[in-house]
Amino acid sequence: MKRLAVIGLVALSAACVTQPTASSSPAATGEPAALTDAAIRELIVGGWIVSAESDYYIPGFSETLWEEFTEDGAEIVHVYEDDTCVKEIETMNTRWSINDGVLITDYDDGSRDRDQVVSIDQQSMTLKLEDGTTGIRKRADGCGDRSSI
């Protein structure tokens, strides 16, 4: 169960920008332009935790996770023994990229997740996962940093 939750976490929350559709161009709606892939890449770098608002939030487990996205495309998921975040019990390394507003996560076993970035800003990120659920992340400096929740 933990492994599935970690994979769900890696597959990457309040909204600041929504990806455009053909009928919702900024010119047509008068809204600000959507984030470019480059802007998403810049905003995603750093640490994130699963928000309690996320569809796959698991009380007692989600609080033990912290993920880091690095500028070079590495993603590191840290799993701690408990919500004190003192003893790390597992680390999972993946690769990430952004293409047409989609967060692509590549795993060592060759599998891949493709999750739509619905919104992202300095404090939160919302993803529409491949299974249709919504994943919400909050910016955090570590596993125990729940100040943004």
Mean pLDDT by 10 residues, the chain (149 residues): 41 34 38 76 96 89 92 96 90 97 96 96 95 94 71
CA 146 – CA 64 distance, rounded (Å): 11
CA 27, 29, 33, 37 torsion: positive or negative?
negative
The per-residue pLDDT for 82 is: 87
The per-residue pLDDT for 60 is: 84
Query: Does the pTM exceed 0.85?
Result: no
The per-residue pLDDT for 148 is: 57
CA-derived radius of gyration, the chain: 15
In the numeric block, the tokens 């480059």 are attached to: 38
CA 87 – CA 97 distance, rounded (Å): 29
